[in-house]
Amino acid sequence: MLRKILIANRGEIAVRIIRACAEMGIRSVAIYSEADRFALHVKKADESYCIGSEPVAGYLNVYGLVNLAAATGCDAIHPGYGFLSENAQFAKACADRGLIFIGPAAEVIERMGDKTEARKAMIAAGLPVTPGSAGNLDTVDEALEVAEAIGYPVMLKATSGGGGRGIRRCDSAEELRRNYDRVISEAGKAFGRAEVFLEKCIVNPRHIEVQVLADQHGNTIHLYERDCSIQRRNQKLIEIAPSPQLGEAQRQYIGGLAVLAAKAVGYTNAGTVEFLLDDQDRFYFMEMNTRVQVEHTITETITGVDIVEEQIRVAAGLPLRFRQEEIRRRGYAIQFRVNAEDPQNNFLPSFGRISRYYAPGGPGVRTDTAIYTGYEIPPFYDSMLAKVIVSALSWEDAIKRGERALRDMGLFGIKTTIPYYLEILRHPEFRSGQFDTGFVEKHPELIHYSHKPRPEVLASVIAAAMAAHTGL
């Protein structure tokens, strides 16, 4: 088993990995920029090291992080999600220095990170993929030719894209011409590769993904699916496990496809295979994320499998502790990404000081976060503050629990997406469990909410004012 792990990340996911290390008796090493000096992950780790004054550069310094891990006596590096988590160069640098990268092999990351190569691999494995270009597009004229052949609308995507960036929907040749250079530019700036491809746009699909685990002994399993259809501009907001929209036959089918995809590329560790489901109930492979997902929490909740712990065990060369037939799911789980954004002001970021924070609790409620009362949210990173996860035996009860937990949560000093999520939970379309990726755009009225302060909120504000006045 590993003895010491450097966590090449920050915030909530760093805290999550630190907790897994603590339960496994593994020492954790945190890193931080000056902007993160007072972050929670810095305080919770066994050791913490500053990686520079620049807010982002240190988290992306491949050789700086590898050298730090070696110098501090670490066996391995866990990349979390974002930053270098899907960077093949980082995985290779770890291997070259004798460190274990807690994720798949560099060549698998590289292959699945290239969307055109991933499509080719899935076609060869027999998975259904959306019609599109055979490879990268060299000119806008080539893109226009492909679009004409498969029909509009089409999606123009960065080959190395991810996280909803480097992607444009084009409904006509004019839009494709206009967006081509934009996506090329975005791809070069965000991913270092000015390459794009094109595929048929599945209009308002359901976004379904499957969590897989694979070890170094040939064992690959899935942990059922998650529904990520509630999203805005390709950014996920609310995730659900399992999907309330699938029947049992569909669930088994898509789980089998995900395992087939992982085996086809020799995948190890935790990964996610993402699909689109159209209005004719046809699944199409979209991409594979070669890392732990933000929404891994809801899969853990319904299966009882600690995904981060399994990641560490697999990286250490141990076999999976579960066979596919041993995986059972129980009830439903919903995750809310609580972001520091103002939905009523075009989701403008709302960074600043958290004057008061109260975590929700009670049965079936989990909160993953790195914030605390008095924490100053730096403006240099993602706006996600916390993940509130609720679970219950039925879909209806999970919704009710979500409403109660979000109302319980007290987060003052900044604007958040909590009031907006409460409106979504109350909407009949969401409550019916029948929605698609167009839900947010179809219901702009949900942004026009007006919530009066609850009695407990007023009480907390009064208490905060009294404490400030008396110096308590």
- By CB atoms closer than 10 A (0-12, 13-18, 19+), residue 71 is exposed
What domains lie within the chain, and their CATH numbers? 4-102 (3.40.50.20), 131-200 (3.30.1490.20), 206-455 (3.30.470.20)
pLDDT of residue 464: 56
Give the angle subtended at the CA of 360 by the CAs of 354 and 366, to the nearest 5°: 110
pLDDT of residue 255: 98
Contacts for 283 with CB less than 8 Å, ≥ 6 apart? 128, 208, 250, 253, 254, 257, 275, 276, 277
pLDDT, mean over the chain? 94
Q: Output the pTM of the full model.
A: 0.92
Clarify whether 291 is annotated catalytic.
Answer: yes
Active-site option among 206, 226, 251, 291 = 291
pLDDT digits (tens, 9 = 90+) for 315-329: 999 999 999 999 999
Beta bridge partners of 289: 272
pLDDT digits (tens, 9 = 90+) for 333-386: 999 999 999 999 999 999 999 999 999 999 999 999 999 999 999 999 999 999
Q: How many whole angstroms separate alpha carbon 87 and alpha carbon 95?
A: 13
